[in-house]
Structure 1
C-alpha cells in the first residue's frame, strides 16, 4: 500500500504514557498493511511517573520522547519535526499519556486543553482532509482538533469521559470494543480499545479495524 502514517506516542506505559498493547497493535497492523510509519512524541517532561507494579506515583521525572522511544525501538522523532504534508494519515494510540501528556484531560476534563504542538499537527491533518485515527482515551482531544459536532467514541455512553466529551461539544456514539466509529465528514475514526477491552485480543480487534479504515480513507476522494 505504501501509505505514510504518522503515529504520535505519549510515553511508555498505560498509567503515565502510551498504552503499550494499543501502540504495538497499531504499529503491527500498519506494518502488516505495508504502511510506512514514523513515530513522534513531544520532547517534554511527563505529567508524573507511575510505578506500574503498585500504581503509585514515583518521586522522579521522565521525558515523554525518551520514554516513547522504548516503544519505537529508538526510531522516533521530536513532534516538532512532524509535517502533515509528509504523511497520508495520523494515528494516536491511547493510554493515560494521551490525557496527561498530550492533553490535560485527566486533570481538567471538559475544560481541558491540548498540548500546542499536538494540536497544531493534528489540526494540519484535519485541515488537509487527511484521515485521523484516535484510540481509547485519545478521542477526548477530538473537539479541540475538529471542532464541535465531531462524532467519536470512548466506548459506553454512560462513561464519565463520554459525558465530558459531550459537554465539550462532541457527538458521542456508543461502540463495542470490536468496532469503530467513523465521522466520514471529518475523516476521523475512533475505537474504544482499553476503555472497554478485557484482553489484548479485544483491544486489537477494534484497533485493526481502525487502522484498516484509516488506510482505506487515504485512497478515497
Structure 2
C-alpha cells in the first residue's frame, strides 16, 4: 500500500488549510487504496481570521493545533516527518499555504518557504518522490524545485506572473484538470483558485491524487 504525507497549513480558507481541499485529498487517497498521515509546522499562524466576518482575531493560533481539527487529532509536527516512510507528498491549498507554509501572500515574487516546509519538500525532491500541490500551494514550487518547474494555479494573471518571476513555468489550467511536470514528478491543480463549488474542486483533486499515486 502506498503511503502519502499530507501537509496542512492550519484550518480554514482565510488563514489555514482550505478544509474542503484537505478533506477531499484525504478521501481520494483512501478511495485509491493508499494511506496517509497528516503533518503541519508547529508554528504560530501569520494571523487568525474570523471566517464569518473576515476580520482578524486575537489571540493568534498555532498552525499544528488548528490543523489537528481537520485530521481528527491524528497529526504530527512537520519536523517528525521521515521521508523514507512515504511514497509521495501532497499539500492542499488555502491562504495558509501562502501565509504559514510560505510568505507568498505578503512577499509575492520575493517569497520564501517556511523552514520546516522547505526542508521536508526538498527531501521528497532529493528522494525523487512524487508530489502534488493544490490551489495556491503551487506558488511555492519554484522555491522547492528550482527554475523551470511546470505548475498551475489556474488562470489568475497576477499570481501567475509572480510565479514566473520566482522562476516557475506557469501553465493555465481548467478547474477540473491537472498540470503534470513529468521530470520533477510534481502535479498541480487549481481547485478553489477557480472552483465555484465543491464539485468543481473535487474533479481536479481526484485527478491530482490519482496521478501522484501513479507517479509514486
Give the drift of 1:36: 1.3
CA distance in 1, matches of 2:71, 2:37: 9
Moved over 3 A (4+): none
Q: Residue 56 of structure 2 corresponds to which residue in structure 1?
A: 57
Give the drift of 1:39: 0.2
Q: Quick check: 1:146 aligned with 2:145? A: yes
Task: Give the total of aligned pairs.
Answer: 216
Q: Residue 118 of structure 2 corresponds to which residue in structure 1?
A: 119
CA distance in 2, matches of 1:174, 1:84: 31
Q: Residue 206 of structure 1 corresponds to which residue in structure 2?
A: 204
For residues 63-82 of structure 1, the aligned pairs below 5 Å read 63-82=62-81
Partner deviation per Cα, 1:6-32 (whole Å, 9 max, x = no partner): 000000000000000000000000011
CA distance in 1, matches of 2:202, 2:136: 15
For residues 1-221 of structure 1, the aligned pairs below 5 Å read 2-156=1-155, 158-218=156-216
Give the structure-1-normalised TM-score. 0.97
CA distance in 2, matches of 1:72, 1:174: 31
- Unaligned ranges ≥5, structure 1: none
CA distance in 2, matches of 1:19, 1:126: 24
- Unaligned ranges ≥5, structure 2: none
Partner deviation per Cα, 1:114-149 (whole Å, 9 max, x = no partner): 011000100010111100100000001001110000
CA distance in 2, matches of 1:159, 1:21: 24
